[in-house]
Structure 1
Amino acid sequence: SPTFTLISEYRRPRDGAWLYHVDLYRIASVEEAIGFGLEDYLDDDALILVEWPERVLPLLPEERLWIRIEMISGTKRLLRMQATGERYQALLRAFRERAFGV
């Protein structure tokens, strides 16, 4: 990701839904995140992808879907997913069923 950009905004043409890609690599504190307006992007109707979310945990909603990407090798990645809240648990169950039949 381009670490010089804190937030990249994308809008889906068919329905106008927002996706925000937030890169917090250069953010050192919750106060800094508040200072650049992160809270303004935490909208229930938007999809927010956050890199380095542990830097702003107090600002993030309790209900969320965590996807951690771990490098296994130069060509392999491991995805670890954890859902909190019924909305995200249902989303994760649906993903597992479609992707793995489980």
Structure 2
Amino acid sequence: MNKWLYGENGYYKNFKAIGKSGDFYTAVSTSSFFGASIANYFYSLIQKNDFKRNGWLIEIGAHQGYLLCDMIQWLYTLDPTLVKTLKFGIVERQIEV
């Protein structure tokens, strides 16, 4: 799988952009609603003290990081002070992005 995806002739070496004109698109590609929905749930966990206000929010396989960006924007809308205490990270294998 690693060779097929990331090898010299792997999919991610030659794939088209993500989006309607690319190979595929996801909910994140079409609207910020998906990220806002996840952020809303995440915020409810913080409100119930099931997640700390200074914890990490990490997007794995982020590509351009649109999902995390949408989540941060929605969290800021809900509670601007929260984005100052949370820590954010992205894990992305593709160096080019």
Q: Which structure is higher in helix share?
A: 2
Q: Which structure is higher in strand share?
A: 1
Ranked by relative contact order (alpha carbons within 8 Å, sequence separation 6 or more), the top structure is 2
Normalized against structure 1, the TM-score is what? 0.25
